[in-house]
Amino acid sequence: MISALRVILRLPASSSATSRIDSKKNGYATTHRYWRRQAQDVIALVSQFSAPAFTAGLGAQGELMFDAALPTVGFLPTARKVKAYSGKKWMELSASHRAGAGAG
């Protein structure tokens, strides 16, 4: 039985390890020479997808998809913007309760 160390020592050097060493000149990797430019491209893309108009549209689309999926699992919406359901009424809390004065 061959020990694990002997098996590892018999393996040929992987090409990826040698290519990483070969791709460096003076300690710098040549494959990522313009990383700041790539970082600016990523920042621009994130900024574009973070624009309020895009996020509002994405949120509205997500809400439509969620509302459309509810009936498929047995939840049927009966009304919108309601404050009472099945005899139970939602009531606004006073300012002191919202601030936590009535807790405890």
Q: pLDDT, tens digit, for every residue of 68-93?
A: 999 999 888 778 888 888 888 888 77
How many domains is the chain partitioned into structurally? 1
pLDDT at 92: 78
Indicate whether 56 belongs to any domain. Answer: yes
Is residue 15's pLDDT more than 50? no
Q: Are 82 and 76 in contact (CB under 8 A)?
A: no
Q: Which helix (H) or strand (E) holds 28?
A: strand 28-29
In terms of residue numbers, what domain contains 69?
33-74
Indicate whether 68 belongs to any domain. Answer: yes
**Prediction pTM value:** 0.42
pLDDT at 97: 67
Indicate whether 11 belongs to any domain. Answer: no
Indicate whether 24 belongs to any domain. Answer: no
> Mean pLDDT: which of 16-20, 21-25, 58-62, 97-101 is highest?
58-62
Residue 59: name the closest of 72, 49, 46 by CA. Answer: 49
Direct distance between the N- and C-terminal alpha carbons of the chain, in angstroms, rounded to an integer: 70
Is residue 1's pLDDT more than 50? no
Distance, C-alpha 102 to centroid of its chain: 37
pLDDT at 82: 85
Indicate whether 3 belongs to any domain. Answer: no
Report the distance separating Cα 72 and Cα 66, nearest Å. Answer: 10
